[in-house]
Amino acid sequence: MRIIFMGTPDFAVPTLTELVGRGHDVAAVFTRPPAPGGRRGLDLVPSPVHAVAERFGIPVFTPASLRGDAAAAQMRDFGADVAVVVAYGLILPQAVLDAPALGCLNLHASLLPRWRGAAPIQRAVMAGDPETGVAVMRMEAGLDTGPVGLMERIAIGPDQSAGDVHDALMVIGADLMGRALAALERGGLDFKPQPETGILYAHKIGKDEARIDWARPAAEVHNRIRGLAPFPGAWFALADGTRVKVLRATLGTGAGAPGEILDDGLLIACGDGAVRLVQVQRAGKQPMAADAFRNGAALPAGSRLG
């Protein structure tokens, strides 16, 4: 099939690679414009999808917006059968959605209609969901409201982070989109409307959500830690104000004042129960095992984390 691919982050790269590998004619790639990055943050760095598309020799377009007649006309000029959208990051107006002959298919990282919106993986883990998945949806003007053609589920392990789930879903999702396009080409992709019940919105993660509140129940603290790992990272503060992200943790057994260190292995008391820190990252430093961090930070049992 002749395809327009629209995506930006690492999550979208396996799908683009899968479509090229299956022999589809990817006429163009649309992605977000290069953003400041590099060691000092002064270089303009292309998106992961941009870099891969250039290696494949696919024309790349980086519009700041798709609004206006010109954008829709450009999309129509490609003569694409379908557009594949994976974490693109721009709103597609109705005229753009209508431009490909068979419309636009979106790969969304949730079990729709649960967790529509910007941060479905993080929200699923933060909520303690036992499972999540990926869905291939035909796009409409509404936020992730379109009918679903294919869906695949995976379990979320009790200590899995959002990063772990992200890495699993981007591989599964690439294969799912490949299968969806094969069915679409045969005329056998059956789209079903999403249920009207069970709708939840995965709002963008706010900065005020990242600080750990040790007064919350241990299960909630644990889910927040793993739901925000590796980015932006749930954090606590040392006595000198230094922020420390918690990248890995597990539920433990113990009781004490919220934030109190209960043993020599960084078991931390919560409002109800306790969590054990496994991997942390001090601001400006590399991730490290919690035990090694504790030895260097002089955090004896009985002291408290902020």
Q: Hey, what CATH topology would domain 2-201 get?
A: Rossmann fold (3.40.50)
> Which tokens sit at 134?
């990926």
- Per the listing, tokens 């999808």 go with 49
- Per the listing, tokens 């649960």 go with 114
Instruction: Delimit the CATH 3.10.25.10 region(s) of the chain.
Output: 207-297
Q: Give how far Cα 92 sits from Cα of 98, 102, 306, Å.
A: 10, 15, 43
Average of pLDDT values for 212-226? 98
Q: Give how far Cα 159 sits from Cα of 186, 235, 279, 305, Å.
A: 41, 17, 12, 22
> Which tokens sit at 243?
């922020």
Residue 33 labelled as part of a binding site: no
Which residue intervals of 187-289 are DSSP H helices?
218-227
- Report d(CA 146, CA 107) in Å as an integer: 11
> Which tokens sit at 155?
């379990």
Please determine, for residue 42, whether its predicted confidence score (pLDDT) is greater than 80.
no
Percent of the chain with pLDDT over 70: 99
What per-residue confidence (pLDDT) applies to 33? 95
Our measurement of the distance from residue 227's CA atom to the centroid of its chain's CA atoms, rounded to an integer in Å, reads: 10
CATH 3.10.25.10 fits 207-297, yes or no: yes
- Report d(CA 226, CA 276) in Å as an integer: 12
What per-residue confidence (pLDDT) applies to 284? 86
Residue 110 labelled as part of a binding site: yes
At 38, the pLDDT band (50, 70, 90 cuts) reads confident
Please determine, for residue 39, whether its predicted confidence score (pLDDT) is greater than 90.
no
Instruction: Delimit the CATH 3.40.50.170 region(s) of the chain.
Output: 2-201
